[in-house]
Structure 1
Amino acid sequence: MLKRLILALAATAALAGVVQAQDRPAAPVYQVDPFWPKPLPNRWGIGQAAGVAVDRRDHVWVIHRPRSMTPDERGAALTPPRSDCCIPAPSVIEFDPDGNVVQAWGGPGHHPAWPENEHGIYVDAEDNVWIGGNGNNHHVLLKFTRDGRFLLQIGVHRETGGSNDTRRLGRPADVEVDTATNEAFVADGYGNRRVIVFNATTGAYLRHWGAYGRQPPPDDPIPAYVAGQPPSPSFGNPVHCVRLARDGLVYVCDRQNDRIQVFRRDGTFVREIFVAANTLGNGSVWDIDFLPDPAQSLLLTADGENNTVWLLAREAGEIIGRFGRNGRNAGDFHWVHNMAVDSRGNVFTTEVDTGKRAQRFRLVTPLPR
């Protein structure tokens, strides 16, 4: 009898190990590509690189902040020129997979509601380019064609109404479009504390929610994050990203609360995942994306306070690896702000503050099948 019990316990433990192994895929290995992107043409330089996206062609789109370039960085654009380099590049730059510039457009004056401080970029399945902004007066989301022709504005420039206003935004940080339903999910944002959903063609309001799927509370000041205290009942500022998984789940970056909250498409709360939960300052969850294997088994998290990319087993919600550290060399980060993953699993990152660059990290291990 005792022998049978021991065998049964051993079998149960083995089964648990198999399940755990399935929940915890092996950590992929990444290697920085110091030659991506290629040198920019036209004596262009870039400022704070505030967003990155990969389109269906595996072209990489970067949005940067030309106005953040210092006088010595834009010396060739001064009158008289201060130096032979550089000239601020247009705000939106499209690269091919090899890092060559395909086209560039946008920047101050491109549209009357062009953001004071560019923030976030997304390219949908129809090659439309969406951008946000986190300037103090920027409360709109803009949609353009691939070549920069204006299509849609959501929100009212210079007007905001709080986290339960269905017409106006509050410094939106990020957007992603659900192709199946034609819905635009917005991380809103630096002023508001919610996810809000619109029709991606008309901009008509559909629904919104706050932390835990509840109606957002009044936008009063909230206490600073303290590690080890009970989780905040509200999103902090900023609600920094929103990502849609193939299985219908919505992942939201609650940056300063060091957590990812997960919802169904209708706003029903599913779970939360804490990442480097002792992180103070600007928080640990700045952006996320998925490994492109069939199960999207890995969740990658850009952390601009610890200046690393965390690798999490998506199902288990546990860290299994990381790459990058604080520094200025290739492969290091200073305020890694956004990230995107291409169809091969390569990772593209952008940096703000004084980082002001985009980098590519090649996946050197096979994608899970």
Structure 2
Amino acid sequence: MMAIKSARFELVPNWEKCPSGDEYAHNDVAAVACNSQDRVYLHTRKGERVMVYDENGNFIKKWGDGVFHRAHGIAIHNDIVYCTDDQDSVIRVFDLDGNFIWMLGEPGKVTDTGYSFKRKPDIHHNEFVERAAGPFNCCCNVCVAKNDDLFVADGYGNARIHHFDGKGNLLNSWGDVGTGPGEFHLPHGIALDAQENVIVCDRENDRLQFFDRAGNYLTMWTDVLRPTDVTVGPDGLIYVSELWRPVEAGQGSFVHGFADHDLPGRVSVFNPEGQVVARWGADSENRAAPGNFIAPHGLALDSKGSLYVAEVSVSFGGGFKRMPMEDCLNHQIQKFRRVA
């Protein structure tokens, strides 16, 4: 198979048709996933729930109200839904209608890594992770292998990847605090490539790290900015969402330090050889414009190759008064149709 050299996408304007009323309102879309019928599942914040749409953005149903503390990640495998709650430090598992099946972790119970969110960071609050430990401390995302094994990026309060079997038994963990190979500062997004190698978004080290299923380090890609999520298409293309890095204290890189200019969020698409085949959204002057990004945080592909990009614009932009709240409220989920 010849390596793909380029890909093009076009925005589907005003995709989400969210019903009116407080019972449907949300301030962020933390994550997005698609089921086998191309229904689109949004894991939303404020309210903390799952909202389900058809591929044209028409609302179908919602579920999970009162269940989640803070939405963070969502994955669907064999039409089973895995929802990561980073503040509860758990992964809750549901069927497509929101019926609870089982849970990985215990709500509010965290391992001792020395992590604390109460101090003011110099670079990022992940610097307060003193040591890596077992599951979980503010886990971020999960991906599921063909045999139903789970791989969890345990990131905000930890620096580890955990490998479980499909029944939730821990098989292996790897990673430590730092900037070397196999070390992390906030392992955030996670996916499996076509060979089922594990791709980890090492967010605050500005890189992707690749491992085999046993946790052996393979390689890293560094042409990324603050990667938050990663997903892999059937053609092998690797999609990465990249978070805005403002020029301010507490928003630096452990590898590159502090930028001397604003670094806006974007989406990058790589072929399996690591070459960029598409990249868009990096516009600091017009980040709230349709097709650009404020705070890209989650990704999903449907069966037709369309890409959904979830954003935590209110938490990251409006909440810190970096942008007008109205812009952030109107910029939470976008769909891009692949055209070439």
Q: TM-score scaled to structure 2, two decimals?
A: 0.77
**Contact 2:153/2:188 (<8 A) preserved:** yes
2:132–2:159 CA contact under 8 A, matched in 1: no
- CA pair 333-258 structure 1, distance change in 2 beyond 3 A: same
1:29 to 8, 11, 28: 8
Cα distance in 1 for partners of 2:132, 2:290 equals: 43
CA-to-partner distance for each residue in 1:68-112, whole Å, 9 max, x for gaps? xxxxxxxxxxxxxxxxxxxx5x610111111111211113x33xx
Q: Secondary structure at the match of 2:303?
A: coil
Partner of residue 281, structure 2? 324
Where 1:159 maps in the other structure, the secondary structure is: coil
Is the counterpart of residue 359 in structure 1 residue 334 in structure 2? yes
How many equivalent pairs are there? Answer: 284
Structure 2 CA distance for aligned equivalents of residues 237 and 267 of structure 1: 17
1:176 alignment partner, one of 130, 139, 143: 143
Match of 1:310 in 2: 268
Aligned to 1:99: 57
Following superposition, the deviation at residue 40 of structure 1 comes to 2.5
The answer as to whether partners of 1:139 and 1:169 remain within 8 angstroms in 2 is yes
When residues 203 and 271 of structure 1 are mapped into structure 2, their CA distance, relative to the original with a 3 A threshold, is same
Q: Which amino acid aligns with 1:146?
A: L
Separation in 1 of the partners of 2:57 and 2:242?
Answer: 24
Query: In the alignment, which residue of structure 1 is the partner of 2:297?
Result: 337
* Correspondence 1:30-179 to 2 at 5 A: 30-40=9-19, 42=21, 44-66=24-46, 88=47, 91-107=49-65, 109-110=66-67, 114-115=68-69, 117-125=70-78, 127-135=79-87, 138-161=88-111, 162=113, 165-166=133-134, 168-179=135-146
Contact residue 140 and residue 157 of structure 1 kept, 8 A: yes
The whole-number CA distance in structure 1 between the counterparts of 2:313 and 2:21 is 24
CA RMSD of aligned residues (A): 2.1
Letter in 1 for 2:163: V
* Post-superposition offset of 1:208: 1.0
Verify the 8 A CA contact 1:292 1:342 in the aligned structure 2.
Answer: no
SS at match of 1:272: strand
8 Å CA contact 2:160, 2:184 repeated in 1: no
> Equivalents in 2 of 1:94, 1:186: separation in Å?
24
What amino acid does structure 2 have at the position aligned with 1:302? S
* 1:42 Cα deviation from its structure 2 partner: 4.8
SS at match of 1:196: strand
CA contact (8 A) 1:292 1:344 kept: no
Partner secondary structure for residue 286 of structure 1: strand
8 Å Cα contact 1:172/1:186 also seen in 2 = yes
CA distance in structure 1 between the partners assigned to 2:185 and 2:105 by the alignment:
19
Shift of 1:284: 2.4
Matched residue, 1:346: 306
CA offset digits 1:269-308 (Å, max 9, x no partner): 11111124xxxxxx52111122332xx1x22211112311
- The residue matched to 1:40 in structure 2 has which SS? coil
Please, what TM-score do these two structures have when normalized by structure 1?
0.72
User: 1:60: how far off?
Assistant: 1.1
Percent of aligned positions that are identical: 28
Q: Is the 8 A contact 2:182 2:217 kept in 1?
A: no
CA distance in 1, matches of 2:268, 2:196: 23
Q: Distance in 2 between matches of 1:157 and 1:104?
A: 22
- Long gaps (5+) in structure 2: 114-130, 245-263, 315-327
Q: Does 1:285 align with 2:227?
A: yes
Partners of 1:118 and 1:364 in 2: CA distance? 31
Rg comparison, structure with higher value: 1
- 1:164 and 1:320 mapped to 2: Cα distance? 35
How far does the alpha carbon of each residue in 1:304-351 deviate from its partner, in whole angstroms, 9 at most, with x for none? 123111122222x13233122341121111011111111221110011
